[in-house]
């Protein structure tokens, strides 16, 4: 990513609405090596905003990471956050930050290189040098890099909790479903086998019962017939 271009685009938005910021600061002694960045004030987590977990707008692309797609709203929030970080990290005296604001305020000058030379000429009168421009630009690139690393560290933790851990849980549940499905299939096979056995045994047992009842009835009828003849023939 071209950080200089990214910084410039964000400072354009900041400077175009802030006339006071466009006014060059009084000359001060600026060291060749910029001092450490000021720590930005604590902000609500950019990743953990509740709105990020609400239903996405139909016009907002959502996709897996590393595909290059972005959310329009999230991109706008990120640009605003980086612009604020740059403003909070602004070094004392005229430097790259004031130079870009001044240069962008000269939009009425049609020739691009003239906007650069005129802005530099104006700020050099109060102490800006090309060395300061370069060193402070690298400082702001490093500031963004530090913020990006902090963001990615936080992103990694949230991504693990909200995505990777849940994917693992889904995989575990899917595996559990497979195991349960296998158990269900096994139980269905056992039930079918038992049903076949029950049907076979029931048929045999009922036939045996019916046969025994019939044999018993026949025997009783035979005895009753014999008894009637005995009483008839024997006096």
Q: At what angle do helices 112-124 and 96-104 cross, to 10 degrees?
A: 130
Chain Cα centroid distance, residue 44: 18
Tokens of 179: 């195991």
Q: Which residues of the chain have pLDDT under 50?
A: 1-63
Q: What are phi and psi of 84, to 5 degrees?
A: -70, -40
Q: Give the pLDDT of residue 52.
A: 42
Residues 6+ apart with CB under 8 A from 234: none
Q: Give the pLDDT of residue 58.
A: 38
| pLDDT tens-digit series, residues 28-85 | 444 444 444 444 444 444 444 444 434 344 344 444 555 678 899 999 999 999 999 9
Please indicate, yes or no, whether the overall pTM of this predicted structure exceeds 0.85. Answer: no
Tokens of 188: 């269905």
Q: Give the pLDDT of residue 9.
A: 44
For 27, which DSSP code?
P
Q: How many helices (H) and strands (E) does the chain have?
A: 7, 0
Query: Are 52 and 162 within 8 A, CB to CB?
Result: no
Query: Are 93 and 28 within 8 A, CB to CB?
Result: yes
Q: Give the pLDDT of residue 65.
A: 54
């Amino acid at each position: 990513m071209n950080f200089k271009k990214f910084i410039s685009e964000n400072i354009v938005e900041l400077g175009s609405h802030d006339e006071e910021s466009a006014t060059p600061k009084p000359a001060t002694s600026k060291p060749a090596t910029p001092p450490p960045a000021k720590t930005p004030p604590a902000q609500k987590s950019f990743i953990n905003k509740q709105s990020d977990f609400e239903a996405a707008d139909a016009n907002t692309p959502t996709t897996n990471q590393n595909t290059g797609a972005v959310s329009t709203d999230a991109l706008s929030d990120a640009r605003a956050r980086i612009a604020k970080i740059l403003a909070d990290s602004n070094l004392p005296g005229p430097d790259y930050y004031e130079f870009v604001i001044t240069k962008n305020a000269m939009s009425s000058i049609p020739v691009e290189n003239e906007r650069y030379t005129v802005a530099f000429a104006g700020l050099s009168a109060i102490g800006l040098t090309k060395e300061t421009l370069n060193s402070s630009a690298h400082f702001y690139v490093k500031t963004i890099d530090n913020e990006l690393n902090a963001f990615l560290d936080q992103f990694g933790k949230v991504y693990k909790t909200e995505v990777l851990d849940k994917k693992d849980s889904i995989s575990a549940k899917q595996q559990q479903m497979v195991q349960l499905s296998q158990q269900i299939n096994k139980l269905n096979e056992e039930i079918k086998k038992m049903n076949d056995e029950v049907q076979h045994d029931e048929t045999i047992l009922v036939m045996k019962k019916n046969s025994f009842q019939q044999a018993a009835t026949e025997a009783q009828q035979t005895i009753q017939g014999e008894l009637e003849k005995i009483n008839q023939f024997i006096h």
